[in-house]
């Protein structure tokens, strides 16, 4: 009798997996057909029956199991008061930044690093300049800063060309510091990751700069003084 029950359970599990796989394929095919330019990442069941969680770049959407309906927004566990989507988005952001790689960022690292943040910055942004003018304070708090460029005026703007010139400079860190002080960097071009930075910013729905992304993929929008940022990062790590 136990053997029969076990076989039935395994058969049911296999059927469930087959249905889930079929739904995933249906969703992928439907999205590819309706939005051919969109690169679909993972597709998996969400916490709501009949609704699938789909990652696209740094975003998460919810799609019906036939791929016909797409829902844009955050899924919240009302009882637990937890934003389930934001929790998963942090993981998506973390993976996206890791995939980009350190060789495509300008990194300022203290002698003893306790924390690491990735910051989307615009050379001509006032608060971005204020943050960078205090770079020694962030270093003193043990915060490694990984810069990515997000020229808010868009591709082809003065800010965009400055970002490219800084990246192509012989000493990127010195060129960035000078540009943040208001100096116009000597015009240079080379193979650069600025467009990748901007695409990532779009995926993360960056609205302004600076935007700080923590090691865990959480977001702090806007400028934070070094001490306040260090406290927030310590809280994130559960050190306080």
- Active-site residue numbers? 122, 125, 128, 152
Say how far apart CA 195 and CA 62 lie, in whole Å: 27
Residue in 84, 61, 104 with CA at minimum distance from that of residue 199 = 104
Say how far apart CA 95 and CA 213 lie, in whole Å: 12
Residue 154: Cβ within 10 Å count: 9
Q: What is the DSSP string of 6-20?
A: HHHHHHHHHHHHHHH
Cβ proximity of 84 and 77 under 8 Å: yes
Q: Cis ω on the peptide bond leading into residue 210 (within 30° of 0)?
A: yes
Cβ proximity of 89 and 205 under 8 Å: no
């Amino acid at each position: 009798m136990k053997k029969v029950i076990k076989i039935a359970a395994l058969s049911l599990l296999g059927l469930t997996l087959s249905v889930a796989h079929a739904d995933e394929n249906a969703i992928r095919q439907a999205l590819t057909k309706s939005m051919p330019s969109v690169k679909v990442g993972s597709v998996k069941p969400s916490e709501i029956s009949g609704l699938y969680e789909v990652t696209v770049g740094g975003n998460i959407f919810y799609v019906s199991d036939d791929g016909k309906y797409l829902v844009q927004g955050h899924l919240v566990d009302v009882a637990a008061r937890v934003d389930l989507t934001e929790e998963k988005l942090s993981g998506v952001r973390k993976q996206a930044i890791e995939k980009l790689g350190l060789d495509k960022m300008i990194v300022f690292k203290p002698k003893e690093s306790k924390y690491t943040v990735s910051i989307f910055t615009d050379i001509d942004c006032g608060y971005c300049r204020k943050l960078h003018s205090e770079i020694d304070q962030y270093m003193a708090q043990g915060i490694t800063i990984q810069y990515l460029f997000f020229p808010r005026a868009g591709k082809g703007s003065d800010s965009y060309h400055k970002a490219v010139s800084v990246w192509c400079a012989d000493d990127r860190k010195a060129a960035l510091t000078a540009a943040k002080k208001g100096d116009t960097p000597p015009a240079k071009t080379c193979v650069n990751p600025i467009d990748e930075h901007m695409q990532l910013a779009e995926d993360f729905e960056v609205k302004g700069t600076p935007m700080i992304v923590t090691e865990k993929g959480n977001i702090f929008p806007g400028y934070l003084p070094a001490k306040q940022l260090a406290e927030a990062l310590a809280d994130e790590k559960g050190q306080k």
